[in-house]
Structure 1
Amino acid sequence: MSTPAAATPAATPAGPAPRPGQPVVLRRGTVLPMDARRSVLPETDVLVVDRRIAAVGPALQVPEGTAEVDASGGIVMPGMVDTHRHMWQTAMRGYGADWTLTQYFVWYYLEHGRAFRPEDVHAGNLLSAVEALDAGVTTTVDWSHGLQTPEHAEAAVDALEAVPGRFVLAYGNIHAGPWEWSAGPGFRRFVERRLRRSDMLGFQMAFDVTGDPQFPERAAFEVARELDAAVTTHAGVWGATGDDGIRLMHEHGFMDERTVYVHAATLSADSYQRIAATGGTVSVSTESEQSCGQGYPPTWQLRSHGIPVALSMDTSVWWSADLFSAMRTTLGADRSREHLEAHALGETVTNCHLRAEQVVEWATLGGARALGLQDVVGSLEVGRKADVVLVKNDASPVMFPVLNPYGHIALQAQRGDVHTVLVDGRVVKHEHRLVGVDLPAVRRTVEASVEHLRSALGEEAWRRGMDPEVPETKVRDNPYTYTEFRTGATHRRDAEPLSSGA
């Protein structure tokens, strides 16, 4: 007797989203407030009034007219914070899936990066900003090192301001030395005119320190200090930036608690000690470090030195654009390193040192601290700005049972499970759908950018860039030295035909 197929429930159309300014309460969720105890609060409500978290607790009394969101079966957490994303490259999503870091440098820095017009930077930022909200990333650092002119910077900010998220523009230009572009009058005028330093649009300066003993980057650091801007820098990148850059920054007094060191994967203990002593944060991009080779994801080193950690995604030219994958890969990389080190000593790891709750904290409060926003966002405390995410998906078998909420966020959930997102108290995603976002218009903008870049490069260069050559692999006829066995599938050392029995 056959078993009847289970009926597929009809899709329920999304109800109207709460109005801007309307109080909102998320009811009966499992709340992760990201407090000092890393608490788990079952069957708990979160009330948002006037852009802030007004109360957290069970069965809250709410003002008349409050919109209610059923959070039962879901996890309510702070909005996530990405501390390093090259948003301007997002229109080229997946283009460099098979790149090395060298190929990335050649494509953007030496060959084709100059083909980006202001409108291409705008298109990338627009798409990246929208997809960040969709994935529950409510604050994103736009590590914008494609700002060849102030007009490119204008386009970048225009895109960020068109999307109801929280952003930080990290101004940079890979086509000029930071001591050059930071001294230009156009840069100063842009900063004075467009960057009002609200908690909705922050400002950093983004540049790297090569280790040149003349320390030409000093001039850019002095501009940052004059403008009261934090510096974010790619440090500890194999073959590009290393200990000399850290030493020069430290000796000249340009390391402080607002500095964010991206990757920091190939540094010495001395450099980690300098970062720890000056209170800086490291933005770890595990997917990037694993694939590109900046160095092994350094969380194991950072933990041993007591250095604060934040997470980031780097660029959609290669990888995903959500922090669920960042948490997952970071947890795996750190634990893998610990196991391998133990095995080399003939030992066995019997308890995990890096826990799921820690990577969830790095993705939320850790990022907020790195940006100096820990008193604004990053936790669900009364009085904080209401950047709130509900992870819930009643149509997915992955979202039940929720036994270990921190583990579920770090290892089970994904962007498709993001049900509701609030930024600054405003609902920007409701019942799995973005609110007030014209995705077809975003698509048209991105398609126009891709068409321009493709035609500017030419079809052959476009194809070569996306499909880099695979180096010939040198393989012996048979890797096992104890036999002369060969088959047609192996590489031969001579041109003699194989015997019919080989």
Structure 2
Amino acid sequence: MSTPEPAPAPHADDFATGRPIAFRNATVITVDSAGVLDHADVLVVGDRIEAVGPGLEVPEGALEIDASGGILTPGFIDTHRHMWQTALRGYGGDWALSQYFVFYYLQWGQVFRPEDIYAGNLLSALESVDTGVTTTLDWSHGLRTPEYGEAALQAFREIPGRFVLGYGNYLGAPWEWANAPEFRRFVTDNFNAPNDMLGLQLAFDVPGAPEFPERGAFEAARELGLRVTTHAGVWGATTDTAITQMYDAGFMDDTICYVHSSSLNEQSYQKIAATGGTVSVATESEQSAGQGYPSSWAIRKYGIPASISMDTSVWWSADFFSAMRATLSADRSRDHLEAHARNETIVANRLRAEDVVHMATMGGAKSLGMEDLIGSITPGKKADLVLIKNDESPAMTPILNPYAHVVFQAGTADVHTVVVDGKVVKYDGKRVGLPLAPIAAKVADSVEYVRGQLGEDRWFADMHPEITPDEEIENPYKYTEGDAHVTASGDDR
């Protein structure tokens, strides 16, 4: 072992060699007890983090990456993303949540084919590489048959990343499809051996029907040894009734992730906390679509572990910097509003940038049951890493508070290098061997097909929902010409 001289910048061909990788002279946010390390190195050997610290000795022939002026973080973890909907990126940008439900659940969900699932997942997975999201739970609720599930998995085999398929079918009954022989064959065929690059969960919701038919889906999850991810606390759709049913039936435990959880009562939050559940906070979604106020503000009072998610690109992109920023801002905004209502002033923010970085990394790992494997830059863990570095970006200098810099200053354009399972998949701001064009062509074919199924009139009408005009409020104040001031109507001064 020796300390090598500075090496020339790597080229794309260097990344296929399987050589050890050494990040040199970075600001390292470890997200473990070591905290933040200045001017530190990180050595990757194989698929694992070998060592972390200043001036590391590395094996001869190691591939060195100059990380000076940059921040090295664990790979980001998105715990709730409807990846298949990425092919309709931005289509529902003006929707409320009810319009999303009508479009997919009631009107057009049946027109999507397995190849549409495949195209959307490909595009979403490629976008994850760009944004530094190294692990994604694909809340794939458009899987009408196992053939659709196979299409989703095929995309994961083609784009590097760590994926968990949240198998769901919003057009079917989960207590039926989760126990169907064809689904069981799908599980056996694709998940018959441990694989930390590809996992499986059941994805279904509990609307609160009195007979609680979802019992059969929970029983299937336990029989198969699978975690469950469920939309909870969605205003008017999944309420406290569902939490009560799950709790009374004994299905709430640390294998359940409650997505959103934005409109629950105190008892429901206490039940989630007491049973070890986690919450996936999708702030941009909750702010815009109407599930309720973003839940980080509520759940931190009860000590519920939180992760971050982006929901769906039919509204929002996969930009995790945007997600972190929105989460911190929404939480603080609510804190201020609550204090103002009491005629008080917030003098210290309760949620810190460090907390949100934790949510985006170790919080996600805990939600997926993978906290011993990923989520921090710790020797022995899998090497999922993001180098945030852009020597030409004014926003990347100076770096004074690394946590706040990641949340409030950096952006996707500053993602320099991404490592997944010890392999470099993006370097110097460019993906390695992952061109967009072939995927864009598949997405274009999918869009053309879906658009043809809707017809031009319906395509444009659904993209631009009508708005009921607000009732105009009469203004008692009038502008008075000549003396340039505003007076109340009837005021003859």
Q: Which TM-score band applies after superposition, normalised by the shorter structure?
A: over 0.9
Q: Unaligned regions of 5+ residues in structure 1, if any? A: 1-11, 487-502
1:54 equivalent to 2:54? Answer no
* 1:225 is aligned to 2:226: no
- Which deviates more from structure 2 when the two are superposed, residues 230-239 or residues 317-326? 317-326
Contact 2:138 2:164 in 1 (8 A): yes
Query: 2:68 aligns to what?
Result: 72
Q: Summarize the alignment of residues 11-22 of structure 1 with structure 2, pairs less than 5 Å apart.
A: 16-22=13-19
Could you tell me how far 1:309 is from its partner in structure 2?
Answer: 0.3
| Paired letter, 1:228 | G
Identify the residue that residue 170 of structure 1 maps to in structure 2: 166
Distance, in Å, in 1 between the alignment partners of 2:286 and 2:247 is: 24
Letter in 2 for 1:293: G
- 2:47 equivalent to 1:29: no
Amino acid of the structure 2 residue aligned with 1:121: I
The one of 473, 476, 485 aligned to 1:481: 476
Q: Which amino acid is 2:417 matched to?
A: T
Partners of 2:115 and 2:446 within 8 A in 1: yes
SS at match of 1:383: coil
Q: Give the 3-state SS of the residue equivalent to 2:16 in structure 1.
A: coil
Structure 2 CA distance for aligned equivalents of residues 338 and 463 of structure 1: 40
Alpha carbons 1:89, 1:124 under 8 Å: kept: yes
- Residue 431 in 1 paired to residue 428 in 2? yes
Aligned equivalents of 2:221, 2:129: Cα separation in 1: 29
Contact 2:12 2:432 in 1 (8 A): no
Unaligned runs of 5+ in 2: 1-8, 482-493
1:170-209 counterparts in 2 under 5 A? 170-195=166-191, 196-209=193-206
Superposition map of 1:225-264 within 5 A = 225-264=222-261
| Paired residues for 1:101-180 under 5 Å | 101-180=97-176
d(CA) in 1 for partners of 2:337, 2:310: 25
Q: Decide whether the 8 Å contact of 1:82 with 1:140 is kept in 2.
A: yes
Q: CA deviation at 1:181?
A: 1.3
Alignment partner, residue 348 of structure 1: 345
User: Matched residues in 1 for 2:112 and 2:91: separation?
Assistant: 15
In percent, how many aligned pairs have the same letter? 59
Q: Are 2:10 and 2:63, in contact at CA under 8 Å, matched by a contact in 1?
A: no
Q: C-alpha distance in 2, partners of 1:17/1:124?
A: 30
4+ residue stretches of structure 1 with deviation over 6 A? none
- Say which SS state the counterpart of residue 18 (structure 1) adopts: helix
Task: Say whether residues 1:330 and 2:331 are aligned partners.
Answer: no
8 Å CA contact 1:20–1:426 kept in 2: the answer is: no
Native 8 Å contact 1:21 1:51 kept in 2:
no
**Amino acid in the other structure paired with 1:218:** R
Relative distance call for 1:427 and 1:15 in structure 2 (3 A) is closer
Instruction: Describe the shift of the 1:397–1:15 C-alpha distance in structure 2 as closer, same or farther (beyond 3 A).
Output: farther
Q: Deviations over 1:118-138 (max 9, x none)?
A: 000000000001101110000
Cα offset, 1:183, TM superposition? 2.1
Q: 1:49-74 CA deviation, whole Å, 9 max, x = no partner?
A: 01100110111111111111000000
Maintained 8 Å contact 2:419/2:425: yes
Distance 2:463 2:475 in 1: 36
Contact residue 276 and residue 306 of structure 1 kept, 8 A: yes
Q: Which segment is superposed worse, 42-51 or 463-472?
A: 463-472
- Match 2:388 to one of 375, 388, 391: 391
Matched residue count? 472
Paired with 2:208 and 2:369, the residues of 1 have a C-alpha distance of: 27
- The match for 2:411 is 414
Q: Secondary structure at the match of 1:365?
A: helix
Quote the Cα distance in structure 2 between the aligned partners of 1:50 and 1:180: 42
- Residue 388 of structure 1 and its aligned partner are, at CA, apart by 0.7
Q: Using structure 2 for the length normalisation, give the TM-score.
A: 0.94
Would you say 1:317 and 2:314 are equivalent positions?
A: yes
Aligned mates of 1:89, 1:43 — CA distance in 2: 41
Q: Is the partner of 1:65 in helix, strand or coil?
A: coil
1:100 aligns with 2:121: no
Superposed displacement of residue 206, structure 1: 0.2
- Does 1:443 pair with 2:440? yes
Distance 1:457 1:185 in 2: 33
Measured after TM superposition, the shift of residue 194 of structure 1 is 1.2
Paired amino acid for 2:102: V
- In structure 2, distance between residues paired with 1:460 and 1:484: 44
Kept in 1: contact 2:82–2:139 (CA 8 A): yes
Match of 2:263 in 1: 266
User: Are 1:404 and 2:401 an aligned pair?
Assistant: yes
Question: Distance between the aligned counterparts of 2:404 and 2:448, measured in 1?
Answer: 42
Structure 1 residues 407 and 482, CA gap change in structure 2 (3 angstroms): closer
The Cα of 1:398 is off from its aligned counterpart by: 1.1
Question: What is residue 7 of structure 1 aligned with on the other side?
Answer: none
Q: Shift of the alpha carbon at 1:180? A: 1.8
- Say whether the 8 Å CA contact 2:111–2:453 is kept in structure 1: yes
Kept after mapping to 2: 8 A contact 1:18/1:24: no
Amino acid paired to 1:481: P
The aligned amino acid for 2:343 is G
CA–CA distance in structure 2, aligned partners of residues 13 and 246 of structure 1: 52
Q: Deviations over 1:124-155 (max 9, x none)?
A: 00000110111000000000000011111000
Paired residues of 2:10 and 2:65 also in contact (CA < 8 A) = no
Residue 493 of structure 1: aligned partner: none
| 1:19 Cα deviation from its structure 2 partner | 2.3
Letter paired with 1:88:
W
Code of the residue aligned with 2:258 in structure 1: it is Y
Asked if the contact 1:44–1:56 (Cα under 8 Å) also holds between the matched residues in 2, the reply is yes
Instruction: Quote how far apart the aligned CAs of 1:409 are.
Output: 0.4
Aligned to 1:496: none
Q: What displacement does 1:397 show?
A: 1.1
Seen in structure 2, the aligned counterparts of structure 1 residues 363 and 20 have a Cα distance that, compared at 3 Å, is farther
Q: CA deviation at 1:464?
A: 0.8
Q: Distance in 1 between matches of 2:12 and 2:455?
A: 47
